[in-house]
Structure 1
């Protein structure tokens, strides 16, 4: 545990700090860029070696082969059927590539990468000695966090979440005039244990926020995570993850045929929606709570939060055929009314003005053993 867990008033479970005494106030300050949040639920993986970027480019959904030092992006690892297996933020410093993964996925992702190395000149190491803090850029804490960031090769390790805008090669399915992520300038600084302790000791209590605050801002921005929005059926299209983590015009990678097919033909099996929940009940439903239209179960909650302005909010994965309109969330025998805002339309891809991928019928003359049975 870093020094953040020793601060008076902290409510935590090990390295997972829920709040520092006032979750709503912390959330407002975090949104204003005046506070930072220790992210004990994320883990860093370091990938080093001269072939690291070309190798990661060949086995993941994102084009990272020419990633410049200090540049950030995001990648997914898909199975041969195009389903999401792993997800990570990506930052390169010219000598190493740093992956930021949800802690529940980090060991499995590192293990998969290690198995895929074969003769590639790259090493994969889980860096449990590093801590992470998140904040909104442009505020009072940004320079403090950046100055404390680990810089083993001269580049401060601060990841800029690409979710704020559509990445090069990506596409947005959400049909909104202004995406709620437009103000979500989320940054994550990587710290040594020593610098994390020094940072914790130097900050005023008002400059700290817990995971409850960070999650509320994420849910309000419709931002998917591996921990919450991914299950054994998840396609990147369903949560609009092509926006930031999939490059539609890069070369072959495992699962690319499904990505192209669903993108070109449209109609992903499920779709992510944002819900505003009836706030009359003091208890929030838990993730996994079923969502109904009448007597028909049409999906389940994936993320739930209390927002300082919007009140109880949630993300839910719904059947493509779920009606657009009000829903009911059933939790502990209680029905909670929910108004729905569509994130991914039922016909996502089919009616969008998008480039049509031409690689669907291309196959390499000889299989690449690194694809491990991949469809390309």
Structure 2
């Protein structure tokens, strides 16, 4: 993005700023609220007009009609079979609703929204001039940032993943969910050229996302995905709102069935210094039971990953095959095989993180 061209030390892969020299140090700086992360892999979409909230409510998975100026939430667009087509963070400032989407999805989402306008009093615009910056709330980074406020309210989206949202439901059977401290926020910078460091790149932001078990359209979604598989009902689906496309499947799987696949967290053996990539197969014995969706080297936990597995994949040790190497993987279940209406099921204690500096192989 042109707005971030002048940032010193930025290393790019295509159009994405991946790091500024040391992704692990950047992770710690980002997690503790010191660093700003230029988000060159997201796009802002503005939905203006007096019908914007009721219109979006009618065509997406989220309840939006009572959204107040300054509120944040998240929505999914589903196909008639309940499969995820689009995803976006949502912020309303009282005059416009701002959608934050992954680059690969933004243009298609905007085009679909424009086709759905019909007689609604709304205008959909892709804001290619916007400079999006990520940070963790409550730290120095937020104090250094001036957010754009075109309608008098600073446009800062607070990721709702940190807790189960009204109308949502969590399938993960853990106490102390890793998202509890995930205070991720995204702002539209008023003057990108005036931003000051320290900065963090996409590698740092992705590692912290994976550690929080947070699904993302660009990584955890494929042509078969339904929201139940990645515990996305937690933040992006309102189970008690009015009718919308795909609602029947959402309700049926939640109340009567089980999702065919389940997202799991993997702690990987780092002894071979090989980090898997999206699409690498996950094996139980000799059987392929799923694939990696996201992987990263975490500054505390070492190599970690998210994987989509068959519902029938066994609970326990797995192997990831990557670049000719078999990597042992300890599994922590996010979505149980019997996920559905699981209220009242006892919660399990989450695996504790390794102390900073501990050899990730020591626990194996």
Q: TM-score, normalised by structure 1?
A: 0.90
2:106 equivalent to 1:115: no
User: Which residue of structure 2 aligns with residue 198 of structure 1?
Assistant: 194
| Structure 2 residue corresponding to 1:299, chosen from 287, 290, 294 | 290
User: Which residue of structure 1 aligns with residue 6 of structure 2?
Assistant: 6
Residues 346-376 of structure 1 deviation map (CA, whole Å, 9 limit, x = unaligned): 011154349xxxxxxxxxxxxxxxxxxxxxx
Superposed counterparts of 1:176-215, under 5 Å: 176-192=174-190, 195-199=191-195, 203-204=196-197, 207-215=198-206
Equivalent residues of 1:5, 1:17 under 8 A apart:
no
Residues 144-193 of structure 1 deviation map (CA, whole Å, 9 limit, x = unaligned): 22xx111000000000000000001001000001100011000100125x
User: Which residue of structure 2 aligns with residue 164 of structure 1?
Assistant: 162
Q: Which runs of 5+ in 1 are unaligned?
A: 355-376
Equivalent residues of 2:171, 2:342 under 8 A apart:
no
Superposed counterparts of 1:78-157, under 5 Å: 78-145=78-145, 148-157=146-155
Q: Which runs of 5+ in 2 are unaligned?
A: 346-364
Equivalent residues of 2:3, 2:131 under 8 A apart:
no
Alpha-carbon shift at residue 335 of structure 1 (Å):
0.7
Query: C-alpha separation between the residues in 1 aligned to 2:216 and 2:251?
Result: 22
User: Which residue of structure 1 aligns with residue 351 of structure 2?
Assistant: none
Alpha-carbon shift at residue 332 of structure 1 (Å):
2.1
Equivalent residues of 2:83, 2:224 under 8 A apart:
yes
Pick closer, same or farther for the CA change 1:350–1:50 going to 2, 3 Å: closer
Q: Which has the higher helix share?
A: 1
2:333 equivalent to 1:342: yes
| Structure 2 residue corresponding to 1:320, chosen from 311, 315, 318 | 311
Equivalent residues of 1:326, 1:339 under 8 A apart:
yes
User: Which residue of structure 2 aligns with residue 360 of structure 1?
Assistant: none
Query: C-alpha separation between the residues in 2 aligned to 1:114 and 1:7?
Result: 34
SS at match of 2:314: coil
2:261 equivalent to 1:270: yes
Equivalent residues of 1:78, 1:84 under 8 A apart:
yes
Residues 16-52 of structure 1 deviation map (CA, whole Å, 9 limit, x = unaligned): 1111111111110100001110000000000001101
2:231 equivalent to 1:240: yes
Query: C-alpha separation between the residues in 1 aligned to 2:165 and 2:126?
Result: 27
Query: C-alpha separation between the residues in 1 aligned to 2:144 and 2:239?
Result: 37
Residues 65-116 of structure 1 deviation map (CA, whole Å, 9 limit, x = unaligned): 1110000000000000000000000000000000000010000000100111
Equivalent residues of 1:267, 1:350 under 8 A apart:
no
Larger CA deviation: 340-349 vs 279-288: 279-288
Query: C-alpha separation between the residues in 2 aligned to 1:90 and 1:351?
Result: 27
Query: C-alpha separation between the residues in 1 aligned to 2:2 and 2:22?
Result: 20
Query: C-alpha separation between the residues in 1 aligned to 2:342 and 2:327?
Result: 33
What value does the CA root-mean-square deviation take over the aligned residues? 1.2
Query: C-alpha separation between the residues in 1 aligned to 2:297 and 2:13?
Result: 20
Equivalent residues of 1:170, 1:247 under 8 A apart:
yes
SS at match of 2:118: coil
Alpha-carbon shift at residue 309 of structure 1 (Å):
0.2
Alpha-carbon shift at residue 198 of structure 1 (Å):
1.4
Equivalent residues of 2:81, 2:249 under 8 A apart:
yes
Query: C-alpha separation between the residues in 2 aligned to 1:119 and 1:4?
Result: 38
Pick closer, same or farther for the CA change 1:212–1:66 going to 2, 3 Å: same
SS at match of 2:28: helix
